[in-house]
């Protein structure tokens, strides 16, 4: 074995141990806040693991959505749970239940590990075929070809699920808050680190987010990763009180949320006329059509994630005088 091979093995072993340790620490953390920090650390280590496995697209998604967006949602949940200690402890399962769940999860994990070792090697798969059919479509990233062409229906339905989740979160609000703005309202900050961040970060972040979404058809990246970065920029400005969330009754924000899936459906239906059928692209137009869908989807993903972070409307709509 070469020195490089040994080093890589040590590095991977260390990474695997760290992932497990971070997961264990997250579970053992005494309170919700440190557990959330542990979860974010776990996600970052997992991102490195995906990079080591040669899956940069998955790594980007893990970092953006699995760690970033989820981490922020968890942190906001932790903040909202403060003051409700009694209810939280009443809803927390007892020791016996935790132990039983742990044993069950451990058994499933062990069985999974053994089953993965018993899988055929080399693994059968469609990677080679997908890669071979990517270039004729004018795309450079086989992951984009799978998500937008071969398994486009999965992506279309996933983007519809995002609309469901936003409406589901909104509909948890009390009736009298309908038409109000989602989430808490932050006082406007003109000084301090957050105010500075909210002014410096978005111009850079917007460019990076759009670039990552744009480059997705040819290199690692795409609408989900890019959209998450755009959402993060809005959240920073929102938390600094520089922008307000739009009302849930605002047609423009609703249109933004459905733009991605709706454009996807329309392009898909156009396939009946201009190509072989639903979600089929004529070869010459494949890349431009996919870029149009991706652009609309980036907008929708950004809007959906930002609104999921904001949560249900927390105040009645402002009276129009």
Partner 1 sequence: MSPATPGGSLLVLALILPVAAMLVAFVLGGRAAERLALAALGLGALLAMLVAAAVYRAGAPLAYAVGGWAPPLGLALRADGVTAAMLLTAALVLLAVALFGRTGHATPPGLAEARAPFAFWCFLLALSAALAAAFLGGDLFNLFVALEMLTFAALALACLEGKPSQFRSELRYLLFALIGSVLYLLGTVLLYGGYGTLDIALLAGRARADAPTLLAAALMTAGLAAKMALFPLHLWLPPAHAGAPPAASAVLSGLVVKASFVLLLRLWFWVMPPLAAAAAAPLLAALGAAAILAGSLVALRQARLKLLVAYSTVAQIGYLFLMFPLALAGDAEVAARAWLGGILQASSHAFAKAAMFLAAGLIAGALGHDRIAALGGAGRAVPVCVVAFGLAGLSLMGIPPSGGFTAKWLLLTSAVATGQWWWALVIVGGGVLTGGYVYRVLAGSLTAPPVTDAPIGDAPLPAAASRGPQLVALALALVSVGLGLLPLASFGLVQVGRLGAAP
Contacts with partner 1, residue ranges (CB under 8 A): 91, 108, 111-112, 114-116, 118-120, 123-126, 129-130, 133, 149-154, 156-158, 160-161, 163-165, 167-168, 170-175, 177-179, 249, 251, 254-255, 257-258, 261-262, 265, 268-269, 271-272, 275-281
Find the radius of gyration of the CA atoms of the chain.
22
How many whole angstroms separate alpha carbon 196 and alpha carbon 226?
23
Minimum CB separation from partner 1 for residue 44, in Å?
A: 22
- Residue with tokens 């040819």, as numbered in its chain: 218
Residue whose CB is less far from partner 1, 168 or 204? 168
Beta partners for residue 182, in sequence order: 313
CB of 266 to partner 1, least distance (A): 9
Beta bridge partners of 313: 182, 183
Shortest CB 193 distance to partner 1, Å: 36
The residue (of 87 and 190) whose beta carbon lies closer to partner 1 is 87
Q: Which is nearer to partner 1, 50 or 170 (CB)?
A: 170
Q: Which of 144, 314, 289, 307 is nearest to 230 (CA)?
A: 307
Least CB distance from residue 32 to partner 1, whole Å?
16
C-beta of 300: minimal distance to partner 1 in Å? 10
Nearer to partner 1, 59 or 166 (CB): 166
**How many angstroms separate the first and last alpha carbons of the chain?**
78
Least Å distance between CB 104 and partner 1? 10
Which of 240, 295 has the CB closer to partner 1?
295
Estimate the crossing angle of helix 70-81 against helix 286-310, to 10 degrees.
Answer: 10
* Cβ(43)–Cβ(74) below 8 Å: no
Measure CA 12 to chain center.
Answer: 25
DSSP letter string, 81-94: HTT-HHHHHHHS--
| Cβ closest to partner 1, residue 45 vs residue 149 | 149
Are 134 and 142 in contact by the 8 Å Cβ rule? The answer is yes
């Amino acid at each position: 074995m070469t020195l490089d091979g040994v080093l890589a093995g040590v590095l991977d072993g260390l990474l695997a141990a760290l992932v497990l340790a971070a997961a264990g620490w997250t579970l053992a953390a005494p309170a919700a806040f440190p557990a959330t920090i542990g979860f974010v650390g776990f996600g970052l280590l997992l991102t490195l693991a995906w990079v080591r496995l040669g899956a940069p697209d998955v790594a980007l998604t893990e970092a953006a959505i699995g760690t970033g967006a989820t981490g922020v949602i968890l942190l906001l949940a932790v903040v909202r749970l403060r003051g409700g200690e009694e209810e939280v402890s009443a809803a927390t399962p007892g020791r016996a239940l935790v132990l039983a769940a742990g044993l069950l999860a451990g058994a499933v994990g062990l069985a999974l590990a053994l089953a993965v070792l018993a899988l055929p090697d080399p693994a059968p798969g469609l990677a080679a075929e997908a890669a071979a059919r990517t270039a004729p479509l004018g795309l450079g990233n086989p992951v984009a070809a799978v998500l937008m062409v071969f398994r486009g229906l999965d992506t279309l339905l996933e983007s519809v699920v995002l609309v469901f989740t936003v409406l589901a979160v909104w509909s948890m609000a009390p009736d009298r808050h309908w038409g109000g703005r989602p989430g808490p309202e932050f006082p406007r900050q003109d000084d301090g680190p957050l105010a500075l961040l909210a002014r410096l970060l978005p111009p850079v972040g917007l460019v990076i987010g759009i670039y990552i979404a744009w480059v997705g058809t040819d290199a690692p990246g795409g609408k989900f990763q890019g959209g998450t970065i755009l959402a993060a920029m809005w959240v920073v400005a929102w938390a600094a009180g520089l922008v307000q969330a739009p009302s849930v009754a605002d047609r423009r924000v609703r249109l933004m949320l459905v733009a991605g899936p709706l454009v996807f459906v329309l392009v898909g239906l156009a396939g009946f006329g201009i190509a072989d059928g639903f979600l089929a692209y004529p070869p010459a137009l494949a890349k431009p059509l996919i870029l149009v869908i991706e652009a609309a989807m980036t907008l929708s993903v950004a809007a959906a994630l930002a609104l999921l972070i904001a949560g249900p409307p927390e105040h009645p709509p402002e009276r129009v005088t």
